Chain A
Amino acid sequence: GIQVEQSPPDLILQEGANSTLRCNFSDSVNNLQWFHQNPWGQLINLFYIPSGTKQNGRLSATTVATERYSLLYISSSQTTDSGVYFCAVDPSGGSNYKLTFGKGTLLTVNP
């Protein structure tokens, strides 16, 4: 099956810093989503981004489908950004629209 690798596995920032999270995947994809899992375990959709660039406030994401990677940018980080960020993909050619998740990046933002 498709492989999803996220880096770095852990990241510690001071409030106000910027960061870039990376997701590499081993095959072409129909669907790529970024999620934030907050400390209470809730998975929250950030972006649906199988290709191109999107921005939402301090967050933006870029997927370069031809090179099989996606980047999540967090600017001016806040303590509420802490949690685990997951990249999840649905490979092209599949007909079931199911997601395979990476292992996540644990982000800690200190005040």
Chain B
Amino acid sequence: EAGVAQSPRYKIIEKRQSVAFWCNPISGHATLYWYQQILGQGPKLLIQFQNNGVVDDSQLPKDRFSAERLKGVDSTLKIQPAKLEDSAVYLCASSSRDSYRGSGTDTQYFGPGTRLTVL
């Protein structure tokens, strides 16, 4: 079974530029998460999707961050415009939990992450 795929692995941009990250979850996983991990800290949830709907985006800075999962499979996370403090690793995770169907498990599986540096 293929794991969670993310691209690009690394990205360097200047402040005020825009950037987009892509994630393809494990096949069949209904729930997809985007996390931000700043150096020396644990990951922090930005947004959670179930299929193509947003479940939780309470910690997403909506003035500059956006995310979508249009077909309920892969997802993109965008930052526009980027700030210096957005330098971090952006992690995508998925789980088979489907709360609408009452099925699946809560175990989350993570991709390799995208390391963003904003100069």
A-side residues, CB < 8 A to B, are: 4, 30-31, 33, 35, 40-45, 48, 86, 88, 90, 95-104
B-side residues, CB < 8 A to A, are: 31, 33, 40-45, 48, 55-56, 89, 91, 93, 95, 97, 99, 105-110, 112-113, 115
Closest 10 CB pairs of A and B: A101-B42, A43-B110, A31-B106, A48-B107, A96-B56, A97-B97, A101-B43, A97-B106, A41-B113, A98-B45
* A86-B42 contact in complex given A42-B112, A42-B113, C-beta closer than 8 Å: yes
Contact A33 B108 (CB under 8 A): yes
Docked Cα-Cα span, A99 to B42, in Å, equals 11
Closest Cβ neighbor of B112 among chain A residues = A42
Number of A-B pairs, beta carbon distance below 8 Å: 60
B118 to chain A, nearest CB (A): 18
Contact A101 B44 (CB under 8 A): yes
Q: A100 contacts which chain B residues (CB < 8 A)? A: 45
A104 interface neighbour in B42, B56, B106, Cβ under 8 Å: B42
Q: A102 contacts which chain B residues (CB < 8 A)? A: 42
Contact B56 A30 (CB under 8 A): no
Docked Cα-Cα span, A68 to B40, in Å, equals 24
Closest Cβ neighbor of A84 among chain B residues = B42
Closest Cβ neighbor of A47 among chain B residues = B107
B26 to chain A, nearest CB (A): 12
* A41-B112 contact in complex given A30-B106, A101-B42, C-beta closer than 8 Å: yes
A18 to chain B, nearest CB (A): 24
Q: B45 contacts which chain A residues (CB < 8 A)? A: 98-100
Q: A42 contacts which chain B residues (CB < 8 A)? A: 110, 112-113
Contact A43 B91 (CB under 8 A): yes
Docked Cα-Cα span, A98 to B105, in Å, equals 12
B33 interface neighbour in A4, A98, A104, Cβ under 8 Å: A98
Contact B99 A95 (CB under 8 A): yes
Docked Cα-Cα span, A99 to B110, in Å, equals 12
Docked Cα-Cα span, A41 to B112, in Å, equals 7
Docked Cα-Cα span, A33 to B110, in Å, equals 12
